Amino acid sequence: MQEKYETLLAENRPDDILLVTFNRPEVANAFNTRAALELCDLFTRIEAEQRYRCVVITGAGERAFCAGADLKERTSLSDEEWRAQHETFERMFASVRDCPLPVLAAVNGAAYAGGLELVLLCDFAYASRSAKFALTEVSLGIMPGGGGTQTLARAAGERRAKELILAARPFSAEEALAWGVVNKLCEAGKVLDETLEVAGRIASLAPLSVRQAKHAIRHGLHMDLASAMRFEVEAYNRLVGTEDRREGLRAFNEKRKPKFKGR
């Protein structure tokens, strides 16, 4: 990724992994309109370039992953300007949600409001033991608008999501792990390394298979079981004629590591 951004760092890592860092540590990596537009542009480029196998998102510094929307920028907005800005934020959230590649969050610190919503839109997340989480929007006279009422309920259950959202209650990394918001807790300073390690594992596998499996999981969860299983078979059958399927079988029989090409 060669593009330079004002609010993000996009770094090519080994194994065709793209590391994306919110780079506004002076405001706890809160996103403003510029950051939202840049993240939309970045994910458009990711899909267009078709060179990456996994994306990792994190925040600069150790204090915060992302504190949500930059409220100072919003102070002077009219109602119409607020709604227009939020449409930009909606496109940003959708760009993460709809990415066909695996998107992992390395939660290095606080993930509040829209920051937590971004974590929940990633495929899964690892977090520092010191990380804190909250959807605090009702304390500001609004409500979650980046999918939080839906994604937190799907991760933690309806009753838990109501408790956390309606009371604007912060919760700890240990609670986030217990409730399915994150997959693993890491020691201080280790979360990015451990997230990149699992990203490397994913990137070493057949990329078309990884994409199709993600697609089947995501869409199948919104179907009844019989329909979801038919959907899974349709996704499976798209892989039968690929070079990677033949390479995987050859490598297994030849007792060597496969060389997947995404074809």
Computed over every residue of the chain, the mean pLDDT equals 95
- Rounded Cα gap, residues 117 and 103, in angstroms: 14
The set of catalytic residues is 117, 137
Q: Which CATH superfamily is domain 8-203 in?
A: 2-enoyl-CoA Hydratase; Chain A, domain 1 (3.90.226.10)
As a whole number of Å, the end-to-end CA separation of the chain is 22
Indicate the residue type of 115.
G
Q: What is the pLDDT of residue 184?
A: 97
Residue 100 near residue 238, CB atoms below 8 Å? no
CA dihedral (247, 253, 258, 262) in degrees, to 10, reads 20
Going from N- to C-terminal start, the domains of the chain cover 8-203, 207-254
For 67-103, what is each residue's pLDDT tens digit? 999 988 888 889 999 999 999 999 999 999 999 999 9
* DSSP string of 123-163, one letter each residue: SEEEEETT-EEE--GGGGT----SSHHHHHHHHH-HHHHHH
CA 212 to chain centre: 17
Beta carbons within 10 angstroms of residue 263's beta carbon: 9
Please report which confidence band the pLDDT of residue 1 belongs to, taking 50, 70 and 90 as the band edges: low
Show the beta-strand stretches assigned E in the chain. 8-13, 17-22, 54-59, 64-66, 103-107, 110-112, 124-128, 132-134, 171-172, 184-186
Q: Is 34 exposed, middle or buried (0-12, 13-18, 19+ CB in 10 A)?
A: middle
Q: Are the C-beta atoms of residues 195 and 189 closer than 8 Å to each other?
A: no
| Calpha distance 222→224 (Å, rounded) | 7
**Residue 42 clears pLDDT 80, i.e. is over it:** yes
Confidence grade of residue 49 (pLDDT, cut at 50, 70, 90):
confident
pLDDT at residue 2, as a whole number:
61
Q: Which of 67-71, 112-116, 133-137 has the lowest mean pLDDT?
A: 67-71
Mean of pLDDT values over 18-47: 96
Superfamily of segment(s) 207-254: Lyase 2-enoyl-coa Hydratase, Chain  A, domain 2 (1.10.12.10)
pLDDT of residue 163 exceeding 70, the answer is yes
Q: Please give the model's pTM, rounded to 2 decimal places.
A: 0.93
